[in-house]
Structure 1
Amino acid sequence: MTSLRVTTAGPLSTVQDLGRPGFAAVGVSRSGALDRGALALANRLIGNAEGAAGLEITVGGFSCVFDADVWIAVTGAWGRATAGGQPIDINQPVRLAAGTSLEIGMAEAGLRYYLAVGGGIEVPPVLGSRSTDLLSGTGPAVLKDGDALPLGHPHPEAMRPVDISPWGPPDLGPVTVPLYVGPRADWFTSASLETLFTTTWKLSPASNRVGARLDGIPLQRSAEALGRGELPSEGMVAGALQVPPSGLPTVLLADHPTTGGYPVIAVVASAALDRFAQLRPGQEVRFRHGR
């Protein structure tokens, strides 16, 4: 079987597909690629199904080699990528000969690259998905130097380079995200609700695949909410904006816990969650009312 051998795994590289929905009742979140659009694009470029498993490479500093000729595509973050020492384009299908080393440098814009390979990564699925869930430990282990990953059978038709690559680098400036108030907005003061939409938040370096922590003006609970005590744990979804006692909100991402006791002041629109995959520490985030 054709395989990909990791020579340098970088800070955090994992196998990801589009996740394992339907298991929240047993404590397993959907997981999957944080930037679903970038993974789907990489797969489309080389003829895979959009949900085929690829690699999510955080920050960069990754290299690998293939034991057969393969088609690959790199999407998501923006930086220098080389094959056999020669530069290759981001967001383009690329044909690599067997034994060619692929190197993905440190991201200059965005934070997470996605590497798709013809046929997809064929590690054994767990609960119907090949995704690595860092919180529950479900799925394949985080990649390390020397790992060999099996590849599936590629699309039989030869791929051709696209004439135009209309996808540019991720934003480095402020990112504006639609937000829907509730379900626990009544736990907070009206001033805090206004603050949520008027403050420019910054992504905390403590963010990860579980949640995007935001630094800014702490949100205050109302006097009535303070008298209620703690909120019983309830179901959580990706995009929930939880507010812990510090008042600094966290946007739950793909590897989020399935329950939580911190009040959810609002929820990020699902279609906008991919933006958080490419935010860099310290990058600014603004919220607008969803429509």
Structure 2
Amino acid sequence: MLEVLTAGVLTTVQDHGRVGWAHLGVPRAGALDRPAADLANRLVGNPPGAAVLETVLGGLVLRNRGPGRWAALTGASGPEVRWWPSGGELRVAAPATGVRTYLAVAGGVAVEPVLGSRSTDTLAWVGPSRVVDGALLPLGAPVGEPSPLDVPRTPRLEALRIVAGPRADWFAPDALDRLCATTWTVQADSDRVGLRLAGPPLERARSGELPSEGMVLGAVQVPPDGQPVVFLADHPPTGGYPVLGVVHPADLWWCAQRRPGDAVRLRRAPVAPRG
């Protein structure tokens, strides 16, 4: 068991998410910075997709109430691997840069899965509850050896790759070019649902309402105020605003680590994203 002494701003359990339930209105959830979560699991010997803790801006304090285990911190904090003795405390400090830190413990966080995933969805609150002070989190049995070496993390992106979306014709002909030519600012209300950007409003060519339709991960939806939103892991499965573009899935991890006020740029990709 892990005992949560202080939960911090927002701490949730995340794995690879629950893909395949959008037709029932259930978002996928899962770690926003998946490469960081996967790295943390590899460092402690867990299989891919083992459940980890995702915490925002530090402040998480835990006590190990079981045998000693390996633990790893990645993302905004780390990478750092340590032996966590029985009865010892682990504190996640506020990171100097970035937003989300991932804590993997050998054996993985073994909360009860819901619809095949242990991820917390913060939109519909499917899955385990958010982690709170005093919570006890079960751990699974360690199954692998720690991996002390790994490939370097992908460097900071200069711009997010994007392709035209299915409703680009709802905007002015140069809207996608303007989206890519603008330096956008991350808004304070960004969350696991979407990275909300502020800048010169994007002009529509068509008015009126668009019927609700399916949304893909990374869709750049533009509401009537003209300020784009990049949909992340907890995005709704449907939406009623036009989608101007779609961010390449391999670049979405970078959105997980952007703070309010950070600058974001986009660039057109030569081919449609896959994955």
Tell me the TM-score normalised to structure 1 length.
Answer: 0.89
1:92-132: CA deviation from partner (whole Å, max 9, x where unpaired): 33111101110111111110000000000000000000000
Aligned to 1:118: 106
1:167 Cα offset (Å): 3.8
Per-residue deviation at 1:150? 0.2
Superposed CA RMSD in Å reads 1.5
Which residue in the other structure is 1:21 paired with?
19
SS in 1 for 2:175: helix
In the aligned structure 1, how far is the partner of 2:166 from the partner of 2:151? 40
Gapped runs of 5+ residues in structure 2? 271-275
- The answer on 1:66 being equivalent to 2:64 is yes
User: Which of these residues, 128, 144, 161, is aligned with residue 140 of structure 1?
Assistant: 128
Give the alignment partner of residue 104 of structure 1, picking from 92, 103, 108. 92
* Conserved 8 A contact 1:241-1:250: yes
Identity of aligned residues (%): 52
Once the 2 structures are TM-superposed, how far is the Cα of residue 276 of structure 1 from its aligned partner?
0.4
* 1:206 paired residue among 180, 183, 189: 189
* Distance change in 2, residues 1:70/1:149 (3 Å): same
What amino acid does structure 2 have at the position aligned with 1:288? R
Q: Is the 8 A contact 1:91 1:167 kept in 2?
A: no
Q: Is the 8 A contact 2:218 2:247 kept in 1?
A: yes
Give the letter for the 1:19 counterpart.
Answer: G
Q: Deviations over 1:225-281 (max 9, x none)?
A: 12xx20000001110000000000100110000000000000001111111001111
Q: In structure 2, what is the equivalent of residue 290 of structure 1?
A: 269
Q: Please report how far the alpha carbon of residue 66 of structure 1 lies from its aligned counterpart in structure 2 after TM superposition.
A: 0.5
Cα shift at 1:191? 3.3
**1:178 matches 2:157:** no
State the alpha-carbon separation in 2 of the partners of residues 156 and 273 from structure 1: 29
Give structure 1 stretches of 5+ with no counterpart: 79-89
Structure 2 counterpart of 1:75, which letter?
T
- Match of residue 7 from structure 2: 9
Shift of residue 29, structure 1, vs aligned partner? 1.3
| AA partner of residue 262 (structure 2) | Q
Q: Secondary structure at the match of 2:38?
A: helix
Letter in 1 for 2:243: V
2:49 to 23, 48, 51: 51
Deviations 1:177-213 (A, max 9, x none): 0001121111000232221110000110110001110
Distance 1:42 1:236 in 2: 29
Q: Is the 8 A contact 2:42 2:147 kept in 1?
A: no
Runs of 4+ displaced beyond 6 Å: none
**Aligned-partner residue type, residue 287 of structure 1:** L
The answer to whether the Cα contact below 8 Å between 1:77 and 1:278 also exists between their aligned partners in 2 is yes
Mark the CA change 1:161 to 1:269 in structure 2 (over 3 Å): closer, same or farther: closer
Whole-angstrom CA distance in 2 between matches of 1:36 and 1:161: 19
Counterpart in the other structure of 2:76:
77
Given residue 247 of structure 2, which amino acid in structure 1 is its aligned partner?
V
Structure 2 residue identity aligned to 1:206: D
Contact 2:176 2:245 in 1 (8 A): no
Aligned length: 269
How many angstroms apart in 2 are the aligned matches of 1:160 and 1:75? 14
